[in-house]
Structure 1
Amino acid sequence: MAGHSKWANIQHRKGKQDKLRSKMFSKLAKEITVAAKMGMPDVDMNPRLRLAVKAAKAVSMPKDVIDRAIKKSQMGDGADYTEIRYEGYGANGIAIIVEALTDNLNRTAANVRSYFTKCGGNLGQTGSVSHGFDRVGEVSYPASAGSADDVMMAALDAGADDVESDEDGHWVYCSVEALNEVSDALEKALGESTESKLIWKPQTLTEVDLDTAQKLMKLIDMLEEDDDVQTVTHNFDMSEEVAALLDA
């Protein structure tokens, strides 16, 4: 499989992530609360909660904040959140999947629709773009975890389906159902991962020019700044030259 695209699957502007750190903590805390409420408030008995807590620890969320989010799920007086997925097209027909947790479906739908419209895109029906993505588990490791061959061998032994490696790191892919098992096996072989999560993995990537990239990044920024939006996934890539101009 082609090399991993850091533009397609990871957050790619450090300054932006630093700016949104508190918002990221808020969204992760919401996911922890929802996961604990839907299952059991025990990471060993609740796979979704375990992934949520791991994601929180990956960005150094304080333990007391994680504990409070879990306890909130058991209080019975918090908001009831609904999971919703929106699918649409950004500039030049780029496919975008938006996942949200909301206590007001009308508000969230109106906001997401307005972001797409303002940035030259449009919302589609459920399923309109997700057929171009695979729902898989992804376990990430830094380049220092080992050579591409070593990580590939460890991944295959762990029951993974595929690995992508480049100078920035390694990304191991597996079925949704196998994510926790594969993650555990990899940690025994390679040490603690950077991240372990479920993703929408684009089957193909479309390279975009600077003008399209600017419109798409404006849309993604608007979506990610919305408190109800948990994840934004797309299928575009860009050259290093375009990326440099975008961040200039």
Structure 2
Amino acid sequence: MGRIFEVRKGAMFARWDKMAKDFTRIGKEIAIAVKAGGPDPDNNPALRRCYLNAKACNMPKDRVEAAIKRAMGKDTSNYDEMVYEGYAPHGVAVLVETATDNATRTVANVRMHFTKGKGALGTSGSVAFTFTRMGEFKIKNTGQNLEELELELIDYGLEEIGEDAEGNIIVRAAFNEFGTMNKAIEDRKLELISAELTRIPNTTVELNEEQANEVLKMVDNLEQDDDVQKVYHNLK
């Protein structure tokens, strides 16, 4: 009984850690969106997207509003979005997106995670070609016909359409068609669960379990860093 409790407690703390990380990430996205386009989501598509993704992560509305108020303050941090590229062990390409108010600290931390993970931080452009940047939209499946929906969205930059493990509809669009696709989905009154920019690997690397765990440990350490927003890799 004690062992079961320990396992459950560990899982609970892991969920809390992930939630805290998601809230921090979205808080920075809100700050960047407000600085760039103002505090009104009706006139700021990026902020509207933050609201949507905050809801998907169960971030309380009062925390979202508090983040917007902080972003409007004169003393709030200005975050620079920076991307770092490199390789994890066994030749796996890794791309790290960050939002930071101290680039010197961030690059030092990212380099440390690569080094400790037996990887190597590379130069700009060293692995970016391995990924294609796309817009990814998660839509609630209420019985839509995927073939019909594909025909409706094909003229708005649709690249891929399918379902995830939970049965939600996943739509991917070309990076430069993100806004167009977002509007097309909103115009059709489809229920968006989340909308974000992502990077899809063009090729993948297959490893054995031990090697894969080495890579995933390094990726996890990067994801836990406060300055890191997202980590992409091409491990199969």
* TM-score range for the pair, normalised by the shorter chain length: 0.7 to 0.9
The residue type equivalent to 1:107 in the other structure is R
* Unmatched segments (≥5 aa) in structure 1: 1-12, 238-248
Q: TM-score, normalised by structure 2?
A: 0.85
The residue type equivalent to 1:186 in the other structure is I
Contact map agreement 1:143 1:167 (CA 8 A) in 2: no
> Where does 1:230-241 land on structure 2 (aligned, <5 Å)?
230-237=229-236
Q: Of 155, 160, 165, which aligns to 2:162? A: 165
- Using the alignment, how far apart are the partners of 2:116 and 2:108 within structure 1? 12
Q: TM-score, normalised by structure 1?
A: 0.81
Other-structure match for 1:26: 24
> Where does 1:44-123 land on structure 2 (aligned, <5 Å)?
44-123=42-121
Other-structure match for 2:3: none
Other-structure match for 2:4: none
- Using the alignment, how far apart are the partners of 2:144 and 2:158 within structure 1? 18
Shift in alpha-carbon separation, 1:162–1:31, aligned structure 2, 3 A: same
Shift in alpha-carbon separation, 1:131–1:68, aligned structure 2, 3 A: same
Give the CA deviation at 1:16. Answer: 4.3
Other-structure match for 1:6: none
Shift in alpha-carbon separation, 1:212–1:203, aligned structure 2, 3 A: same
Give the CA deviation at 1:188. Answer: 4.5
Note the aligned Cα RMSD (angstroms): 2.3
- Using the alignment, how far apart are the partners of 1:167 and 1:100 within structure 2? 26
Give the CA deviation at 1:47. Answer: 2.6
Give the CA deviation at 1:219. Answer: 1.0
- Using the alignment, how far apart are the partners of 1:24 and 1:173 within structure 2? 22
Deviations 1:77-133 (A, max 9, x none): 112222111001012111111011111111111111111111111110011101121
SS, match of residue 236 in structure 1: coil
Other-structure match for 1:229: 228
Deviations 1:150-203 (A, max 9, x none): 44234325x133124246243212233332331232244462122111111211
Other-structure match for 1:7: none
Other-structure match for 2:134: 136
Give the CA deviation at 1:14. Answer: 9.9
* Unmatched segments (≥5 aa) in structure 2: 1-10
| More helix as a share of residues | 2
Contact map agreement 2:88 2:94 (CA 8 A) in 1: yes
- Using the alignment, how far apart are the partners of 1:55 and 1:170 within structure 2? 16
- Using the alignment, how far apart are the partners of 2:69 and 2:143 within structure 1? 35
Larger-gyration structure (1/2): 2
- Using the alignment, how far apart are the partners of 1:114 and 1:83 within structure 2? 19
Segments of 4+ in structure 1 off by > 6 A? none
